[in-house]
Structure 1
Amino acid sequence: MTMPERTEPSTTAGEREMLDGWLDYHRETLAQKCAGLDDSRLRELSAPPSELSLLGLVRHMAEVERGWFRNTLAGEGLDPLYYSEADHDGDFHVTEQDTYAEAYAAWQAEITRARELAAAHGLDDIGKTKSRRTGESYNLRWIMTHMIEEYARHNGHADLIRERIDGATGD
């Protein structure tokens, strides 16, 4: 696998271009953290008993993209890909049968759909589904900002996991 490209966000963009740029930058960062590792290395846990792995993070971010853009913004009401009522952390519970190829394809499909949905909405547009926990509504600006935060937090995890696996560091 070749190293995925990562585009630096503009330093002078308007709000929408800035949000799109930073979100894509963080998506690309996670892909870079996984590049060059085989499935067994991608399944390695960060520091047991933690169940964090790079493969689990990719599966988790597929779920997060799906949840915020397809379900919250667009109201598609889709079922989860990897977790269930019986296993709320199923995205992180990877097995020997789970592959990066499958998780990456699912993640990229969710990113593609998220980009389509975001492009069809303005930043002030309110999502069709309210929070089950709080009953609050979310506009696209909030969703995109939250997604940047979500990726940034998990990319920090990915940094540490990758360094533990093979010593690779970098931003």
Structure 2
Amino acid sequence: MTTAEAAPERTEPSTLAGEREMLEGWLDYHRETLALKCSGLDEKQLKEACVPPSDLTLLGLVRHMAEVERGWFRNRLADERAAPLYCTDADPDGDLHPGEADTWEEAYTTWRAEIARARELAAPRSLDDLGEGPPSRHTGDPYNLRWIYTHMIEEYARHNGHADLLRERIDGTTGD
């Protein structure tokens, strides 16, 4: 039985940072918050959908965030056209539906690889640089890196709220 590793280090973002350092600091803070919510749990707990009627699980949230990192940085920012990791035509929300054979080790490794690639793609760009991938389906406008960072912070913050509820139901652990 695999267990999510011990609690990761989480650094509070600087209160005096410039814009880019602030955005990257908050994004990293939220990435580590999700890892923290999963730490110390076994495979069964990570796959437990314990907030009915939702079928969300902590493992599913990590897989989802791997897809989100991939979609925004690799596909929207860099136009790599990277194929989905877990989603299929048959199950467009496949990231959120891990099966019996899916493991924490694979999901965590994949998620961390997508984070590393996101950092690599963002590093040489300015916050004003426009994404090379598809524009907004709502406005037709391209996304700049600043917008992508802000959206990613929002995405993690929302799902970390879900993770808070799941973790509390699994073993009573609460906290920010």
TM-score scaled to structure 1, two decimals? 0.97
Over 6 Å off, 4+ runs: none
| Identical counterparts, % of pairs | 71
Is the CA contact (8 Å cut-off) linking 2:136 and 2:143 kept in structure 1?
no
Corresponding residue pairs, total: 171
Q: Hey, what does 1:125 align to over in structure 2?
A: 129
Q: Hey, what does 2:151 align to over in structure 1?
A: 146
Give the distance between the partners of 2:50 and 2:21, measured in 1 at CA: 34
Q: Hey, what does 1:67 align to over in structure 2?
A: 71
Which structure 2 segments of 5+ residues have no match?
A: none
Give the distance between the partners of 1:20 and 1:132, measured in 2 at CA: 22
Matched, 1:26 2:13: no
Give the distance between the partners of 1:24 and 1:56, measured in 2 at CA: 19
CA shift in 2, pair 1:121/1:81, >3 Å: same
Which structure 1 segments of 5+ residues have no match?
A: none
**CA RMSD, 1 decimal:** 1.0
Matched, 1:164 2:166: no
Give the distance between the partners of 2:31 and 2:124, measured in 1 at CA: 20
User: How far did 1:49 drift?
Assistant: 2.9
After the TM superposition, which residues 48-127 of structure 1 pair with which residues of structure 2 at under 5 Å, given as runs? 48-127=52-131
Q: Hey, what does 1:5 align to over in structure 2?
A: 9
TM-score scaled to structure 2, two decimals? 0.94
Give the distance between the partners of 1:83 and 1:34, measured in 2 at CA: 22
The one-letter code sitting in structure 2 at the alignment partner of 1:100 is W
